[in-house]
Amino acid sequence: MARFAPLKSSSKTTETNKQWVAAPAESDYQHGFSFTTDDYALISQPGLNKKIVQLIAHHKSEPAWMLKHRLQALAIFDSRPMPTWGADLSQIDFDSIHYYLRPLSDTAKTWADVPDDIKTTFERIGVPQAEREYLAGVKMQYDSEVVYGSLKSQWEKDGVIFLSMDEGLAKYPDLVKEYFGKVISVGDNKFSALNTAVWSGGSFVYVPPGVHVSMPLQTYFRINSENAGQFERTLIIVDEGASVHYIEGCTAPAYSSQSLHAAVVEIFVKKGARCQYTTVQNWYKTVYNLVTKRARVEEEGEMIWTDFNMGSKVTMKYPGFILAGAGARGETLSMAVAGAGQHLDTGSKAIHLAPHTKSTIISKSTSQGGGIATYRGLVQVAPQAVKSKNKVVCDALLLDPASVSNTYPTERVLTHDVQLEHEATVSKIGEEQLFYLMTRGLSEEAASKMIVQGFVAPLIRKLPLEYAVEMNRLIDMEMEGSIG
């Protein structure tokens, strides 16, 4: 889910690919993103076996322990059954997936080559020109490199490491080894095992003690590195008293011919540190997005997940935090917009292991056109986590009778001295609200859009300004033609 990754992870349309390129015609994709690029240096055979894993490790010249880790994960992936809860995953054909694509370093493309409909989408969402070119696979412009360069020298001065995961492993093998797979273990679940076996790309971030990274780190900045985003692996370590805001994804609809995206994100927040991780994603509507994200938060640390889910056929994603140190705090803000043919099964996990820990989970979802939005959450308070507090709020909006909204919260409390609150509401757009706005001269569609935007506004507000603006326009686009 690297910011622009999916654009690049489209593949050669060879005969073998055709069968796993999504069944619906590409023209069905309303935002008109489809790239058939020939810019891959290496495409592995479809299917997954030991050889493929060895090939990946060999190509990346990885240390022996990583290969061992990968093979161990592969064995676990093979032995685990498919999850039978949540969304329907039975359609995934693991044998038709290419597990490793290595892009060529130079992709010569110009803005003029970019299809008009994509330009139109950018125009409507309001993506700045420099970003548009990057998004469309055009190389970075000189200006942006200057901006990136000055930020980079500042980070280097402070000792901040911000690399792709592959570079991180090559340059800081000891640091990676110390943390890799420590909060999401090899056998955590079937899809994290799959990721561990074949991971490629993703980010590696280390922030030294006391350093506050003022500008959000965006995968967007990390040019000239492999953004490829099918099985990316991200590791973020925020050392004592430091803080960082990391942003992945993009509001622009991301086409990917790959049918499966299984990422793993591990975050370590040390004593007194703070980490905010923002995801803005909008996958092609045939993608299975099965992601495992978890943070371990030490004493007085703070972890904030802002998770915005749009697009994809199926999303199953439950960013979690383990509050392991006294006074640690965690917060999840989750939003899901489910349209026709989509099942977004999202939520959050809060594990309280230490006294005086606090967590908040706020989830908002909208369902329309027969879409299914599910909140699935777990709050667990361990016996030693006395004086802990948790609050979960889920609000769902149903836009038509065919759509479905589910809420499955679980609160497990193993100590007595705690305060847990949960509340959830499901409703449709109020007739009175619509009527009022329509008497003021708005069309039904405009009125509905306004109500939905008001509904999600408290979450959108947490985004950096340019993302917030883009997100609002995107929700507008998603709702177009869905009313009445």
Partner 1 sequence: MSDSVITYRYENLPDDQPIDLELTKPGHYRIELAGKGVEVNIKGVFQAKEQETVEVQVQIAHLAQHTTSNTLLRGVARDQAQLKLIGTIKVEPSANQTNAFLTENILLLNEGARAEAIPNLEIQTDEVKCSHAATVSSIPEEQLFYLQSRGLNLQTAQDLIVSGFLKL
Residues that bind partner 1 (CB under 8 A): 383, 396, 398-401, 403-428
Min separation Cβ 447 and partner 1, Å: 16
CA distance 103 to 145: 21
**Which of 235/314 has CB closer to partner 1?**
314
Q: What is the 3-state secondary structure (H, E, C) of the chain?
A: CCCCHHHHCCCCCCHHHHCCCCCCCHHHCCCCCCCCCCCEEEECCECCCHHHHHHHHHHCCCCHHHHHHHHHHHHHHHHCCCCCCCCCCCCCCHHHCECCEEECCCCCCCHHHCCHHHHHHHHHHCCCHHHHHHHCCCCCCHHHHHHHHHHHHHHHHHCCEEEEHHHHHHHCHHHHHHHCCCCCCCCCCHHHHHHHHHCCCCEEEEECCCCECCCCEEHHHCCCCCCCCCCCEEEEEECCCCEEEEEEECCCCECCCCCEECCEEEEEECCCCEEEEEEEEEECCCCEEEEEEEEEECCCCEEEEEEEEEECCEEEECCEEEECCCCCEEEEEEEEEECCCCEEEEEEEEEECCCCCEEEEEEEEEECCCCEEEEEEEEEECCCCCCEEEEEEEEEEECCCCCEEEEEEEEEECCCCEEEEEEEEEEECCHHHHHHHHHCCCCHHHHHHHHHHHHHHHHHCCCCHHHHHHHHHHHHHHHCCCCC
Q: CB count, 10 Å around CB of 413?
A: 17
Q: How far is the CB of 298 from partner 1 (least distance, A)?
A: 25
**CB-nearer residue toward partner 1: 407 or 472:** 407
Nearest residue to 17 via CA among 259, 287, 226: 259
Query: Which is nearer to partner 1, 113 or 417 (by Cβ)?
Result: 417
Q: Give the nearer residue to partner 1 in terms of CB position, either 312 or 407.
A: 407
What phi and psi, each to the nearest 5 degrees, are found at residue 350? -120, 115
In whole angstroms, the minimum distance from the beta carbon of 399 to partner 1 comes to 7
C-beta of 430: minimal distance to partner 1 in Å? 10
Q: For residue 235, what are the β-bridge partners?
A: 204, 266
Query: 185: Cβ–Cβ under 8 A, 6 or more apart, which residues?
Result: none
Q: How far is the CB of 390 from partner 1 (least distance, A)?
A: 9
Least separation in angstroms between CB 407 and partner 1? 4
Residue 87: other Cβ atoms inside 10 A: 18
Q: How far is the CB of 352 from partner 1 (least distance, A)?
A: 12
CA 437 to chain centre: 35
- The nearer residue to partner 1, 382 or 471, going by C-beta atoms, is 382
- CB of 429 vs partner 1, minimal distance in Å: 8
Residue 309 or 405 with smaller CB distance to partner 1: 405
Q: Which is nearer to partner 1, 66 or 381 (CB)?
A: 381
Smallest gap, in angstroms, from Cβ of residue 474 to partner 1? 22
* Nearest residue (CB) to partner 1, 200 versus 407: 407
430-469: burial string, b at 16+ Cβ within 10 Å, e else: eeeebeebeeeeeeeeebbbebbeebbeebbebbeeebbb
Name which of 209 and 370 has its Cβ closer to partner 1: 370
| Closest to partner 1 by CB, 146 or 402 | 402
Closest to partner 1 by CB, 280 or 396: 396
Q: Which is nearer to partner 1, 385 or 463 (CB)?
A: 385
User: Of the candidates 308, 332, 263, 236, which has an alpha carbon nearest to the alpha carbon of residue 471?
Assistant: 308
The nearest distance, CB 319 to partner 1, in angstroms, is 20
In angstroms, give the least distance from the CB of 19 to partner 1: 34
Residue closer to partner 1 (CB basis): 34 or 405? 405
In the complex, minimum distance from the CB of residue 433 to partner 1, in angstroms, rounded to a whole number: 14
Q: How far is the CB of 448 from partner 1 (least distance, A)?
A: 12
